Structure 1
Amino acid sequence: MTASSTRRTTARSRIAAAGAIAVAGTLLLTGCGDQTKGKDSGSASSTAPLADLLPSDLRSKGEIKVGSDIHYAPVEFKDSSGKVVGIDPDLATALGDQLGVKFSFEDGTFDGLLTGLRSGRFNMAMSAMTDNKNRQEGVDPDTGKKVGEGVDFVDYLTAGVSIYTRKGETKGITDWSDLCGKKLAVQRGTVSEDLAKQETKKCPAGKKISIEPFDDDQQSQTRLRSGGVDAASSDFPVAAYAVKTSGGGKDFEVVGDQVEAAPYGIAVAKKDTQLRDALKAALNAIIKNGEYAKILQKWGAQDGAVKEAAINGGK
């Protein structure tokens, strides 16, 4: 979904081109978010090759709870039947086959996912979350102050950030500097919001960017579609998917280049080193056996593929 405690901070370069995205495709943990539980990904198996790497309590439960903002197609979203689908759920299923557990996705707003992880509401967060130093160290990018314990990341994909507008109404926007004096919709707590805050500081007086943050990316798209803002920004795979699918491809267009490619990471609590290392081993296993490449190809995200899993590779 790329320096904030957000759905994707320190910006990133989104994967291929709009046409490459396949049509095939927080959580207000304290009470008011969508707490819907998505359909489980993966299945428990006593014959899974890497099951012994997991902590014993997770092996016994046969389940890993995943915090995720399930409104970020094609990374994770619900199809017409309500099933949780996308890049992350498919990868989780493949990881589950290696580890012998199912991954149960729990829906919520992006900016609450790390809080939920720290509180123990779920075991990991997988939600197109950019791995960066602020998140690793639990630092608020706006204030530079410590806001909580940091997390560890298992990096599994590379992506960046894009700007898109209504189709045929680019209003001269080709890069971030062109947003000065204009209205921009973003998802709250994401790299897109962080970039917008950084860019508006460079704008001349009286021409700051009017930033409109929303709980999820679908709300941001709705605002742009209605003409309430001049542009929207999100991770490139998401922007490209919206361009490809919204209104049959007639609603939006990507403008300019994606910026600051950075790794997506699976977030785990600092104390859960055994789970972290098991996830890394499982990810390397599906990279080696080819399942990883098949999943990315299915969703048009192959240009963001990594050759090997890394821990805390973000800057």
Structure 2
Amino acid sequence: MTPRQSLMALAIVLTWGVNFVVIKVGLQGGLPPLLLGALRFALVAFPAALLVPRPQVPLRWLVAYGLTISLGQFAFLFWAMAVGLPAGLASVVLQSQVLFTLGLSMLLLGERLQLHNAVGVLVAMGGLGLLGWHSLNQAHTPDGMGVLLGFGLCLLAALCWACGNLINKRMQAAPSQLMGVVVWGAMVPVLPFALLSYGLEGPQRISAALAGLDWGGVLAVLYLAYAATILGYTLWGTLLTQLPTSTVAPLTLLVPVVGLSSAWLLLGERLAPLQLAGAATILLGLSIHVLGGRWKALFAPPDKLPARP
């Protein structure tokens, strides 16, 4: 990486890692989760859609992308954090999308599983099991049931993200059109988010939340729309066009590290020893999955030189 690319990578990791703290701030400020989603994607789509050309991809794939990676992922994620899932823990559990993406790719696309992928999946699933076991044991406590429900909802968010990954792969958008996919895809979930908020959260709660919106809530929505979404995905798409995917993809492993650290520093969140062990195990499994091919190549014996004639 050049120094400029390294700064872009650092900006992505910090922006996406702190994103979970910002979500928590918005929710604690009185914004219901579905309303928060509607506001976020409304600001992403407008007025950016007037400035960014529509990507030249089939409309059905663009709609499917918006319904999965935008509506599904963030509806479940915001809801999970609203019912009690800690921000730092959410940043770790959401990375299980890697496991879901791999599983769906094998099931639907016929991709084959290599040894390091299988080992990584098993290790990461063990970490998820530790987190689930702790949540079940704490379900009888006042906050335990919320964490358990949030854990399940966050897994659904990760599954939606994985579905969006496969749709994005099938869409085959050119690198120059990635920004258009993000912006125009953000138009899809605005109305469903608004309708779900009206039906499930109710007009009175919506009115009260908007009337009582303070600067913390405003800044949270602006951050989620412009920093985490437009800036983050633009920088991400730029790096993907300039560097090999194998170089860029491992950067996502640093996002939970920033998420856990920022939640501890800014929100005072503390994880139990079993939760920390589960989070570390998940990150280890994902590292094996993403980087295992490199390790295999690094320790493989060199090819034999051809015999001289």
Same fold (TM over 0.5): no
- TM tier relative to shorter chain: under 0.3
TM-score, scaled relative to structure 2: 0.27
- With a CA cutoff of 8 Å and minimum separation of 6, indicate the structure with the bigger relative contact order: 2
Structure with the largest fraction of strand? 1
- TM-score for the superposition, normalised by structure 1: 0.27
Structure number having the greater helix percentage: 2
